[in-house]
A and B are shown apart, each in its own frame.
Chain A
Amino acid sequence: MSDFRRQLIAALPRLHRLARTIVRNGQDSDDLFQRTIERILERRAGWQPGSRLDLWAARIMKNIWLDELRMRGRWSRLVEPMPEDGVISDLGSGADAVERQAESRRLRALTESLPEEQRLAIKLVLLNELSYAEAAEILEIPEGTLTSRLARGRVALARMIMEGAA
């Protein structure tokens, strides 16, 4: 088994999760994931042995995603439906649960409405738990730029929450 293939297989669950965080829609994320793997296999000669294949693969996924957004002529995402957090069974805390779900929906709507560069930075770091160095490498930007996008996005979200938008 080649080193390339081994590393790619090991990275698959994380790449799949990354696709889910980037698009947030079951159908779309599988599509993004599959197209990413296809392109990775086409371009395997472009990977430098010794470098991190997972980050290289994630960069390819990010580029496919951004190309698609450009092609669709929009730079912001629609908010896709998400599976609800489960059926509310506990009557006592039912009202709380409904409230929490509604709050989560509002927060997702706000997050998805951020400029794409901020939205991606937040998703990679907070939801995919990548380090700044890793996220910056995937997004192909300096770490300082990443930090600035993260800060701007999060300050905007906190402000919107305070203003009662969420």
Chain B
Amino acid sequence: MTRPIEEDIVAYIDGELAEAERAAFEARVAKEPALADEVRRQRDLVERLRSAYPDGEDKAFDAQALAALGLGDTTVVELSAARTQRRGRVMPRPWWAGAIAASLVCGILIGRAIPGGPAGQDIVVDRQGQLVAAASLDRALTSQDDGGAGAIKVGMTFRTANRYCRTFRLADGNAGMGCRSADRWSILALVKGGPEEPRSADFRLAGDEFPPSLMSEVDARIVGSPLPPSDVEKARRARWR
């Protein structure tokens, strides 16, 4: 390697040296105090830069935002339309047919009720205008581990600024995200999924089986990384508070 040492220093700090190069570089740092000083200075610079440019919250792209960008989706419907359908009147109204319900702003909804529970039980119900998990979905989100099999699969658990959220996938391929508020799981996003949903090459957060549109909802809310199993266990014992 004849490239300047400065390039080795930054590539080392950025984790971009191959294993052998890294070992050789570390051996050199151990022997050369001046080089060690330079590495320290550069590490310090990276820290200072990151704190000088704090990360803001990621922007969430709801149906309205997507429509404004020319990326509207015919499979997304208004929440009120979803409710109408649940009452048995089939009114597949595309979202652009009317004003978008304020309640949709928090997520993406598919245009039908989610039975999915045993004996045709609804597993997402409307409680005072808020969609919450019921029956087997509530139990799954409250007690299941991430991953695992079963009719309802919990994908991953993460923290937002103020609460816990978990993604889930139903047997029919539909997927969603529930966030804990007090004693219930509010369903902030429900998307029509299916086995054909490809994995986004861009998203590495245990999202392989989840629709990209759901993962971008997660991406917009997550603070830090998805929780490891030990933290999920801790959160469960603390009743998700």
Contacts and interface: CB of A to CB of B under 8 A. Distances in A.
Interface of A: 1, 3, 5-14, 16-17, 20-21, 24, 34, 37-38, 41, 52-54, 85, 100, 103-105, 107-108, 111, 122, 125-127, 131-132, 144, 147-148, 150-152, 154-155, 157-158, 161-162
Interface of B: 3-4, 6-7, 9-11, 14, 16, 41-42, 45-46, 48-56, 58-61, 66, 69-71, 73, 75, 197-198, 200-203, 211-213, 215-216, 219-220
Nearest to A21: B53
B197 to A, nearest CB: 7
A37 B49 contact: no
Given A13-B216, A20-B56, A158-B45, A6 B66 contact: no
Contacts of B55: 17
Given A5-B71, A126-B49, A151 B9 contact: yes
Nearest to A3: B198
Contacts of A16: 58-59
28 contacts: A1-B75, A6-B198, A6-B211, A6-B212, A9-B213, A10-B203, A10-B216, A12-B216, A13-B60, A20-B56, A34-B69, A37-B71, A41-B71, A54-B202, A100-B51, A103-B48, A103-B52, A104-B52, A111-B52, A126-B49, A127-B49, A132-B14, A132-B16, A147-B7, A150-B14, A151-B6, A154-B6, A155-B6
A118 to B, nearest CB: 12
B59 A154 contact: no
Given A6-B197, A9-B216, A52-B202, A108 B73 contact: no
B16 A131 contact: yes
Contact of A151 (B10, B53, B70, B212): B10
Most buried by B among A13, A144, A161: A13
A41 to B, nearest CB: 6
Contacts of B54: 85
B96 to A, nearest CB: 16
A5 B66 CA distance: 11
> When A and B form their complex, which 6 residue pairs have the shortest distance between CB atoms, in order from nearest?
A10-B212, A104-B52, A151-B6, A10-B200, A54-B202, A107-B52
A10 to B, nearest CB: 3
A108 B53 CA distance: 8
Nearest to A132: B16
A157 B45 contact: yes
B59 A151 contact: no
B216 A154 contact: no
A37 B69 contact: yes
Contacts of B201: 7, 52-54
A21 B50 CA distance: 11
A13 B58 contact: yes
Contacts of A10: 200, 202-203, 212-213, 215-216
B7 A151 contact: yes
A147 B11 contact: yes
Nearest to B14: A125
Contact of A132 (B11, B51, B61): B11
A40 to B, nearest CB: 10
A134 to B, nearest CB: 10
A132 B8 CA distance: 13
A105 B52 CA distance: 7
B50 A127 contact: yes
A7 B61 contact: no
A105 B48 CA distance: 11
B220 A13 contact: yes
A5 B198 CA distance: 12
Contact of A154 (B10, B51, B215): B10
Nearest to A6: B212
